[in-house]
Chains A and B, each alone.
Chain A
């Protein structure tokens, strides 16, 4: 079956530090890959996505590249801000008849200190 594994958290950084959150996946076929972010007390929001190998998704300074050879989709940001403190979820959908059903990783808590 499909699965997503994220690096264990929580992650604590100082403002302007470099961020990497690792994500690897197992899936049949050619999944689409997503990063969702959840701010305190809110629902999940789509942060970025990539639908085929070597695609780079980007949004709000965050980037992730779909690496089929390593089955990875690591999230990066060059300079984090306090407002980036949230929970980040890596996810995939296998397309076909799944109609967008997402398989999520366990989430990584990010805390950024001033």
Chain B
């Protein structure tokens, strides 16, 4: 049963520290998404990639967040420096399909707490 995996599942860090979250998309999926979920804002799309190329990162604070896909099996989301307001659950999702038939498959998330 193919799944999206994310590491770490939980991260507690102090303000100012660098945080790196990793995602392994489902093999063969060519689109990868990063979301952030908070009680106040709900689900927000941060960035997404197709065939490893960034398509849209307008949802990310550019000064501190960066997203990359070093290869087809790994996507990373980095925050440097982290701030308490970055505390949230970060989800990665991967997808395949064409036109109207797209489906996204979500990972279990990384729960980040910045103190």
Q: State the total of A-B contacts with C-beta under 8 angstroms.
A: 60
Report A-chain residues with C-beta under 8 Å of the C-beta of B99. 95-96
Task: Judge whether B31 is part of the interface by a CB distance below 8 angstroms.
Answer: yes
Cα–Cα distance between A44 and B48 once the two chains are bound (Å): 17
* C-alpha gap A106/B16 in the complex (Å): 30
Give the shortest distance, in Å, between A32 (CB) and chain B (any CB).
4
Interface size on A, residues (CB 8 A): 24
Tell me, in angstroms, the Cα distance from A91 to B91 when the chains sit together: 16
Q: Does B43 contact A (CB under 8 A)?
A: yes
Which residues of chain B come closer than 8 Å to A49, judged between CB atoms? 103
Contact of A51 among B33, B45, B101, B105 (CB under 8 A): B101
Q: Complex Cα distance A64/B95, Å?
A: 22
Binary flags per residue of A83-114, CB closer than 8 Å to B gives 1, else 0: 00000010001011001111010110000000
Interface size, chain B (Cβ < 8 Å): 25
Please, which residues of chain A bring their CB within 8 A of the CB of B108? 41-43
CB–CB A100/B107 < 8 A: no
Contact A45 B42 (CB under 8 A): no
**How far does the alpha carbon of A104 sit from the alpha carbon of B107 in the complex, in Å?**
17
A43 touches B103 (CB 8 A): no
- Answer whether A100 and B106 are a contact pair too, CB < 8 Å, given A43-B91, A107-B43: no
Q: Is B50's beta carbon under 8 Å from chain A?
A: yes
Q: Which residues from chain A contact B55 at a C-beta distance below 8 Å?
A: 99
Q: Are B102 and A32 in contact (CB under 8 A)?
A: yes
Complex: how many Å from CA A68 to CA B55? 29
Asked if A30 lies at the interface with its beta carbon under 8 angstroms from chain B, I say yes
Closest 8 pairs between A and B when the two form their complex, measured CB to CB:
A100-B102, A43-B106, A32-B100, A95-B100, A44-B106, A100-B95, A51-B100, A104-B43
Q: Could you write out 11 A-B pairs with CB less than 8 Å apart?
A: A30-B100, A32-B102, A43-B4, A43-B108, A52-B100, A99-B95, A100-B33, A101-B33, A101-B45, A102-B45, A104-B43
